[in-house]
Chain A
C-alpha cells in the first residue's frame, strides 16, 4: 500500500503545483513535523532535519543532515538523496543551480531562517495553499492506511488494558505498548498517559507513578501505518469504578456521540466542537470546555498525528469528504479528574465512517 499511496500523493502534488504555477516546492521536516517531507518522499524522518525539493516534473531531491538517515532513505530509492551536514547551504545551492524559479515552501513558519535570508534573488512564497489541503483531505488509498492505523490502535488498547494493573509503573505500560507496536511494524506512536484521581489535570509522558486501586488511567494511543496516524482515547479505572467516575464518564460518552453525530461534509469544525460542548454545558460543566482545562475537542490526523482542523468552537474550517479526524471531548472533570474518550473517523458526504471499534465504556481492571 505504501508505494500506491506514495505514487498517488506525488501525482496530487504535481497537479497542485501545476495549478498554482509553482516550479519548485521546498518541503521541510523533522521527527516532530515529518508530514510534509513524507508526503513528497515517503521517507519517515527520525533524526536530524530534511528538506525536499519537488520540481514541477515530479522529480524530487531529498537532502538530509544525518548520515545514517541518509543511508536509510537511499534504500527506498524513489528520489535522489543527498547527505549534507549544512542542510540549508546545500538546499540553497540546489535552488541556485536550478535558476530563479517560482518557488514555494512549507511549512513556512518552520523553514530555516538561512533559507529565506541572505540570497537577494531567492524569492520563496508560502506553499501552504498547495499542500495543506492535500494533507487534510485524504484520497481513498490514504484513508485505507488510516483505517489500518485505527485497527492497530484498537489492538493496542486491548494490550494497554491488560497492562494497567495495580503496582505497575506508568512507564512500564508504555514499554509494553511500544514493544507491541514495534512487533506489528509500527515505527511511531504518539502516546501520553495520566494516572490518579481528582488531582490529575491532563496527560503527559510517564513520570514513574505506580498504579493503585481507585486510580483513573487515561491514555491516547496514536500508532502509524505507512506513515498515517489514527488515535484512540480511553479511560480505565484500577479496581471498581466509583459512582462519580461512572456518572462523569457518561457525560463524556454523550458528548462524544453528539460530536460524532454532527460530523458530515460541509459542517465546520466549530459545529462539531459546539455539539460536544453543549453536552457539558447541559450538565453545568461549561467551565471545563475552555482552554483552562482542555486544549482541543478533537483534531485532524494523517501524516501528522495532530493536524488541522482543530475541533474548537472558534475554528471555522469546513469539513470535507475524506478528512480523517478524532472527536475527543477530553477535559478535566471537577469531581474525578482528567477523563478522556475519543474515536477516529472519516468525514463522509452524509456523515462519517467510524474507524475505531473498541467499546465505548469506562473500562476497569479488578484489584486482586
Chain B
C-alpha cells in the first residue's frame, strides 16, 4: 500500500519523455501486428504502467489500454473522486473509473475494431479481466506481449536514471541511519524508514537479516527479535515509482566490521565491465576480501519493478548490462556471512 509522497514534477518526469516511450512502444506494436496493447497494474506489479504513464496505483488495480493510435486510457475501480487525484499525479493518459475496468477497456477495443490484442504477461493477467475481453470483443485474440514489451523496456532513459539517482541516494541514507548501539532489531531498523519517507520515498520496505550466522533471510518488523553477532539491513525503496535496493552487513566484532566495511566499499565500486562470466567477474572483484557464495542481479522486467534477471547459477536471461541494475551479493568473510546490495550502472 503506497502511502509515501506521490506527486508529479514536470522537471523530473517531462511529458515528452513519456511520449517518446510510447512512440517506441507503438513501433514495436506495429511490428508485432498488435491492434492494441493491454497492461495490468497493481502495487506489486506496477512497473510497466508506471513506465508509460508515471503512475502506480496506491491501492486496488488498473488496466492501461494502449491503442495503436490516440490517447492511452487508464481504467481503475477506484472512486470517481480518486480519479481527480490520479489525473493530478499521472502525466500521460486519460483516467476513467468504473467498477468493471475490463468492460470499459473492451468497449474501447470494440470501438477501435481491435482483434489482435497484445497482453503483457498474458499467463499472469487476471482471468476475470481476460474473460470479459474475450466475451465482449468480437473476434478478440489475446497474444502474449511479454517479449515485445521487453524489447522497448530493457533499457533505461535519462528520466528513469534521474529518478534512480534520487532513489539510490535515499536508500543509502536510509541504510546508513541504522541504530548500531542497540541489541534489538526493531530499534536497529527504526530510523531507516523515517529517513526514507522524510526524504520523499513513495514506498520503503526496511527489512533485517537479524542473525546472519543462522540465516540470510531478511524479515519484516513483526518477525524481528534480538540481533546476532552479525546482521544486515536491507532497504527496498521507490522514489516516484523508480525502485532500488541497498543492503549492508554489520558485525559486533570490530575487526570483522572492518572487513565488512571494506567489502561494502568494494561493492560500491563495482563497475559493469565484462559481464559475460558474472560469477568469475564478481569473485575477482571481491578477491582478497571474501569468497563469493551467491549473487543475484535485478532489473525492472515487465510489470515487476525489480525481478531477478541473473544469478550465480548462471542464468542471465533478459539481463541488460547497459541498464542500471541492483546487485545483491553474499560473501564468506573470515568464516562469517556477509550480504550487500547496491544499485550499479547509473
Which positions in A face B, CB cutoff 8 Å?
A: 30-32, 44-49, 66-68, 71-72, 74-75, 85-89, 108-117, 171-172, 174-176, 178-179, 182-183, 185-192, 201-202, 204-208, 226, 291-293, 295, 305, 332
Contacts and interface: CB of A to CB of B under 8 A. Distances in A.
B6 A48 contact: no
Contact of B4 (A85, A201, A206): A206
Contacts of A117: 127, 130
A171 B217 CA distance: 30
B79 A71 contact: no
A116 B127 contact: yes
B79 A295 contact: yes
Query: At the interface, is chain A mostly helix, strand, loop or mixed?
Result: mixed
B73 to A, nearest CB: 21
Interface string B54-68: 000011110000000
B44 A188 contact: no
B256 interface: no
B49 interface: no
Given A30-B45, A32-B59, A75-B219, A188 B1 contact: yes
B126 A186 contact: no
B230 to A, nearest CB: 17
B36 to A, nearest CB: 17
A185 B5 contact: no
Contact of B127 (A67, A108, A171): A108
B312 to A, nearest CB: 11
Nearest to B196: A175
Given A32-B60, A46-B205, A179-B193, A201 B84 contact: yes
A207 B89 CA distance: 9
B75 interface: no
A115 B3 contact: no
B200 interface: yes
A168 to B, nearest CB: 10
Contact of A183 (B122, B130, B187): B187
A196 to B, nearest CB: 12
B3 A113 contact: no
A191 B205 CA distance: 16
B82 interface: yes
A49 B85 CA distance: 28
29 contacts: A32-B1, A45-B44, A47-B44, A68-B218, A72-B218, A75-B215, A111-B128, A112-B124, A113-B123, A113-B127, A113-B130, A114-B125, A115-B123, A117-B127, A117-B130, A171-B4, A171-B5, A171-B198, A171-B200, A174-B197, A178-B194, A185-B222, A186-B221, A204-B82, A205-B5, A205-B6, A208-B5, A291-B79, A295-B81
Say which size band chain B's interface belongs to: 35 or more
B96 interface: no
Nearest to A332: B81
B3 A191 contact: yes
Interface string B286-299: 00000000001000
A293 B81 CA distance: 7
Contacts of B145: none
B80 A292 contact: yes
Given A108-B127, A113-B125, A175-B197, A187 B220 contact: yes
Contacts of A116: 127
B322 interface: no
B189 interface: yes
A47 B125 CA distance: 17
A229 to B, nearest CB: 10
A114 B217 CA distance: 30
B193 A175 contact: yes
B42 A74 contact: no
B304 interface: yes
Contact of B122 (A48, A74, A113): A113
Contacts of A111: 126-128
Nearest to B294: A67
A332 B134 CA distance: 39
Interface centre among B122, B207, B221 (most CB of A within 10 A): B221
Contact of B189 (A114, A182, A202, A295): A182
A44 B220 CA distance: 9
A32 B42 contact: yes
B151 to A, nearest CB: 20
Interface centre among B5, B80, B122, B216 (most CB of A within 10 A): B5
B42 A190 contact: no
B125 A112 contact: yes
B221 A88 contact: no
Contacts of B296: 67
